[in-house]
Structure 1
Amino acid sequence: MSTQKTVRQSADSVEENKLRLEQEKAEQIVDALNTELANSYVLYHQLKKHHWVVEGAEFLPLHEFLEEAYEHVEEGADEIAERAQALGGVPVSGPANQEERATVEFEGEDVYDVRTMFENDLEMYGDIIESMRDSIELAENLGDHATAEILREILVTLEEDGHHFEHYLEDDTLVLEEATH
């Protein structure tokens, strides 16, 4: 571990940025981005957990779907973090800080049936989608069209994946349950 003790920028600070977005506006947007980043990582960890523990007749396609979903979330989180940094902020990065900062809650360590896990995921997607829309509106209102566009692209993917969870939760299925005697 490095012995360097010089802090170059405090975690909750926003420095002047080279993108010429006023300091006060940048602070508000970085704050919103850090909330979105924290929410993304709570969702990421929940999806990753579900990827690890999913079982049943549809194991493989669900396992692969969850992997794709958490990869999408991680890609979006990376874009959010890089944008916060570009605006002069420090992306929230520690697990404890992310959990504290998030407006969504991890379901916990217990393992649930697939339907319950997916219902929990869909609920979190909905909460994050609403929060993301608010952050897009904030960025637009403050004249930061690039951040709004970045978040819009992430939102499209979130909505698509959320919609796939909705499909998985439908009652119709081709999988037959074994008759119990």
Structure 2
Amino acid sequence: MSTQKTVRQEAGTVEDNPVRLDREKAEQIIDALNTDLADAYVLYHQLHKHHWNVEGAEHLDIHVFLQEAYEDVERAADEVAERVQAIGGVPHASMTALSAAATVEPEDEDVYDIRTSFENDLKMYGDIIESYREHIELAEGLGDYATGQMLREHLEDLEEHAHVLDHYLEDDTLVLESATK
């Protein structure tokens, strides 16, 4: 590892940007986006945890769904981080910064049944969805329609995954529990 350190931009600072978004407006949007970035990584890790630990008769379908979900979250996080940089900011990248900025609370390290896991995921999705709606309004109110559009596209994915989780949590199933046989 190199011992020479050349800092190009300090974390927490906002520079002029090529899209000509006013610096004061950019600061507000960057704060919101760094929150979205942090929340995305909390959700990503929780979904990945559930992907690793799912068991039971519906294992494969749920395993595949969770992989799709966490991959979508990771893709969105990457786009959010790139937008932060494009409007003159520094995206949070360390676990310390991400943990401090996150507004959602992750599940603990224990492994739960899939119903409990999905209930925890659905709550987190709901909190993030509400935050995205606020951040879309903020960005567009400040004239940053590109950020608003990007967040809208991510919001559609979040809502779709929340909808699927809600369906998984319904009582109607073709799978019989061994206790009812």
Following TM superposition, the consecutive aligned residue runs of length 4 or more in structure 1 with deviations greater than 2 angstroms are: none
Per the alignment, residue 93 of structure 1 pairs with: 93
Query: Using the alignment, how far apart are the partners of 2:67 and 2:96 within structure 1?
Result: 24
1:40 aligns with 2:28: no
Query: Displacement of 1:180 after TM fit?
Result: 6.6
TM-score (structure 2 length as normaliser): 0.98
Q: CA deviation at 1:34?
A: 0.2
Task: Determine the structure 1 residue equivalent to 2:106.
Answer: 106
**1:9 and 2:6 aligned:** no
- Give, as a single letter, the amino acid of the residue that structure 1 aligns with 2:123: E
Residues of 2 paired with 1:179 and 1:140: CA distance? 54
Q: Which moved more, 1:38-47 or 1:94-103?
A: 94-103
Q: Shift in Å at residue 169 of structure 1?
A: 0.2
Q: 1:180 to 1:151 in 2, by over 3 A?
A: closer
Instruction: Give 5+ residue unaligned stretches, structure 1.
Output: none
SS at match of 1:79: helix
Aligned 1:50-61 pairs, distance under 5 A: 50-61=50-61
Which blocks of at least 5 consecutive residues in structure 2 are unaligned? none
Q: Which residue does the alignment assign to 2:78?
A: 78
How many residues in Structure 1 have an aligned counterpart in Structure 2?
181
Cα RMSD of the aligned pairs, angstroms, is 1.0
Corresponding letter in the other structure for 1:120: N
How does the TM-score come out when normalised to structure 1?
0.98
The within-5 A match list for 1:149-164 is: 149-164=149-164
Q: Percent identity?
A: 68
The aligned counterpart of 1:132 is 132
